[in-house]
Amino acid sequence: MARPRQWILVLLFMLTPTVAWGDVCSVEDVCNAGFLESGECDIINVVQLAEGCVLDLTTGEDPLDLNINAWASLQVMGGGVTIRAHDLYISTAGTLIGAVPGAGINIELSGRMVHHGTIDFSHPDGGGDFWVSAEGEMTVSGNLLADTSSADSTAGTIDLTAGSHIWIKSEISAKSTAIESDGDESGSDGEGSGAGGTVLIHARGGATTINIYSTIDVSGPQGGGTIMLSGAPLITVGPNPEDGWTVPDLILDGRSGGALWVTDTTNAQFNTNISADGDPSDAGNGGAIVFARVGTVEASGQISANAAPHGGNGGTLWMDTTKTVTIDSEVSLNGGGLHGSAGVVDIVSLETVTINGNISLLSRGAPGSVSIVSVDDLDSDGKINVHKQGTEGSGGSVLMASLGGTLEISEDLDVRGVVAPSDLSALVDLYACDITTTAGTKIDATGYEGTVHMTGIDTLTLNGDILAGSSISLRSRPGALTLTGTNAPEPEVTEDDGLQTCTCSAGTAPEDCRNPLDVDGDDFVTHLLRGLDCNDHDASINPAAVEVADGIDNNCDGQIDEGYDPGDTGDTGDTGVGDTGTPAVDDSGEPDHKPDPIPGASTGDEPKGCGCTAVPSPGGLAFLLALLPAAVRRRG
């Protein structure tokens, strides 16, 4: 972009009266005439764009750049404003402002955006909307705001899309700072009042990156907003090496926490604190933190989606990855008050998972659940606490499975519940080709009917202690069990030579070896990997099967013996093709109370190989999509 000398513009500004132009829209009224011939639309004073204005700077032979110079201001006087230009450049001390409630602008650039000044669409009566789409790079080194301070309004929307790299080096804020409304301390005069807004950052193209070095804040007293990062093969959120390595924050706090979405990226590196907590002075749920359609995830900052202390349910951490997951930080999804439920951790990786930080899902109400599933090795080097708080609360559940590798437990798993009868009992369910627990660790499922189940197919080496309120069951191939720790009660040990070994013998064709995505070879991926097969150890049970009256969900539609009268046996009924339910079936054929994909022994003669071309789309996304506002769902 050919830039005129800054001192010339400063001189012109000093000689030109600072006039707040009337609502204008034409190129002649907006741009300083002295620079139009040089391919620049320079704003050197105050210009007010009329509501609904379409300012097109691309109609000539060469599209014009739009420059908002130092001490100049472009003010948007209403909604529906559109600007088309080549480049957008906002100088230090230059401003682009939404001057009235509901102000909104959509900027379409065939080039790049460079922002060093202030973009502010904040307003006490509701934040405005700032949308920009650039074919080239985007650099944000000045503040970008769409806040509100009224309890009757919602913060605005900031939508940034680029066809090349995006750098965020200064604060982005679409938060609400409302405290109360007309004497109502709840501040909730209307649905969504006082809520945080929406920040969308999207990069197009196969060689792009999103680099976020500063805080993004969409908090609000009536509810946290939404942050969505998507598209670039590499998304990095962390310290800027140019400014002393200050760690940024992603803030989605509110009466109920908001939602962070990270989607459609090969590599997500998050060295940042993510907070989607409920209001510490109120009652409300924790938010949702979602990584969907992602390759690798690396998280090294604190992740929290706790419920408000006075009541509410803990939030959700949901990851669906095709490569590795590494969590080096603390994850906290605690429930609030006397009856709030703890949260949910649900992680699936088609390669490896490493958990180095502690995971905390505590509650005095309903328990939380942790489900971590990998195709290859799973290392748990952090404490996992999914237990009661104090003397109250049911025990939680922990499911950890390495479908084709080693599961190593190096820290405690604690799912303790109350001793008195409870609707939900503590449960630990571990499954892998090889399982090892380190000496000094403890798996604690004490409390009412607490149980521990482990299946280590080729080796089951237990050097730590195992405690349960009801039972401990251990299953492996013959001679695979080593048990040296303290166990109470006495474990029930099953040596099952029907378990298909994970070891592929020399000379065996790969398609004839055990496939962890489809162990039973029925061409349906196990529901542990968000597939549709509710029992991957029985080829006769899958969504294409015909339902029969046998007390089992044959077609994986979440129902048992549908289409039959009680007592019917042997006849065929409906198929479940097209249904998305993924219920579990235990060894007795009765549905389990939680997803328990490992029913125990296999038949020993199950078919091998997988005819499926890809892991099915994650069905668990359906309920999470409801968290997204319409502004987010508009993206195709």
Contact status, residue 409 vs residue 464, Cβ threshold 8 Å:
yes
Query: What is the phi/psi pair of residue 29, to 5°?
Result: -80, -30
Of the candidates 514, 532, 296, the one whose C-alpha atom is nearest the C-alpha of residue 402 is 514
Q: What is the residue whose two structure tokens read 């405005």?
A: 128
Reported as a pLDDT band with limits 50, 70 and 90, residue 421 is: low
CB burial of 363-400 (b: ≥16 within 10 Å; e: otherwise) equals: bbbbbbbbbbbbbbbbbbbbbbbbbbeeeebbbbbbbb
Residue pLDDT, tens place only, 359-382: 999 888 778 899 999 999 999 999
CA distances from 148 to 93, 95, 102, 223, 260 (A): 22, 18, 11, 13, 20
> Residue 550 has what pLDDT?
85
Is residue 355 within 8 Å of residue 328, measured between CB atoms? no
Region 115-123 average pLDDT: 96
Shortest CA distance to 336 belongs to which of 370, 304, 313?
313
8 Å CB contact between 616 and 532: yes
Is the confidence at residue 42, as pLDDT, over 70?
Answer: yes
Strands 143-145 and 172-173: what pairing? parallel
The secondary structure of residue 29, as a DSSP letter, is: H
pLDDT tens for 274-296 read 999 988 777 789 999 999 999 99
Q: How far is CA 342 from CA 307, 332, 582, in A?
A: 8, 10, 23
Using 50, 70 and 90 to split pLDDT, how confident is the model at 90?
A: very high
Residues β-bridged to residue 79: none
Supply the pLDDT for residue 34. Answer: 58
Please state the φ and ψ torsions of residue 621, each to the nearest 5 degrees: -70, -20
User: Which two structure tokens, joined as six digits, stand for 155?
Assistant: 């913060």
What average pLDDT does the segment 61-66 reach?
Answer: 90
Q: What is the pLDDT of residues 497-553, one digit of tens each?
A: 888 888 876 666 766 677 888 888 888 888 888 888 888 888 889 899 998 888 888
Distance CA 365, CA 334 (A): 10
Q: Give me the residue label for tokens 């011939």.
A: 37
- The DSSP secondary-structure symbol of 471 reads E
Give CA torsion, residues 36, 40, 45, 50, to 10 deg: 80
Q: Which amino acid is at 268?
A: A
Q: Under 8 Å CB-to-CB from 59, ≥6 apart: which residues?
A: none
Higher pLDDT, 625 or 507: 507
DSSP conformation class of 340: P
pTM of the predicted structure, to 2 decimals: 0.85
pLDDT at 402 over 70: yes
CB 313 within 8 A of CB 288: no
Hey, where are the domains in the chain?
A: 351-503, 518-614
What does the alpha-carbon distance between residue 475 and residue 499 come to, in Å, rounded to a whole number? Answer: 9
Minimal CA–CA distance to 113: which of 53, 49, 68? 68
* pLDDT more than 70, % of the chain: 78
Burial class (CB in 10 A: 0-12, 13-18, 19+), 151: buried
Distances (CA, A) of 81 to 96, 128, 173, 215: 13, 12, 21, 28
Decide: 381 and 372 in contact? Cβ < 8 Å. no
Q: What share of the chain is helix, strand, coil (3-state, %, to 5)?
A: 5, 40, 55
Average the pLDDT over 41-67 and give the result: 92
Interatomic CA distance for residues 380 and 365, integer angstroms: 26
